[in-house]
Amino acid sequence: MDKETAYKEIDDNGGESYARFFAAQNPDHPLTPFCHRYLFDRDQEARTARSHEERGFALKSLAQMESSSHVAQIAASASRDAANAAHTSATAARRSAFWTMIAAIASALGVAVNAALNLGWLEWARHLVR
């Protein structure tokens, strides 16, 4: 009996379950070594398939990690840009507040001088100085 004929007989009768049962029930039959070899070959094929699946999963996982890393870098860059914009805005606000304070002081001085003129205090002060 050759390998192809034995494997065909095993496949025709139910595959792995048949090979296991036949080998256990007929240890001295000429088909039994082929049954063991058939089971070994199917196990190797299954392991190879799992290995390819695991490798594919690992590659997909690595690609997702790289994508996540890229997204995190973009988010960090956007955050840095936002922080720089906030700093620039704060600096401009500080400058604006300073000049607003200067304008308020000048306005208050103007109001005080105007009130002094209207109340005649400057005339009175000029009279005292003479």
Cα dihedral across residues 60, 66, 69, 73: positive or negative: negative
In this prediction, residue 110 carries a pLDDT of 95
Q: Which residues 6+ apart lie within 8 Å of 19 measured at CB?
A: 10, 35, 36, 38, 39
Low-confidence residues in the chain, pLDDT < 70: none
In this prediction, residue 30 carries a pLDDT of 86
- Residue 99's φ and ψ, nearest 5 degrees, are -70, -30
Q: Which residues 6+ apart lie within 8 Å of 116 measured at CB?
A: 122
Q: For the chain, which residues make up each domain, given as ranges?
A: 3-92
Over residues 31-67, the pLDDT tens digits come to: 888 888 888 888 888 888 788 777 878 888 888 888 8
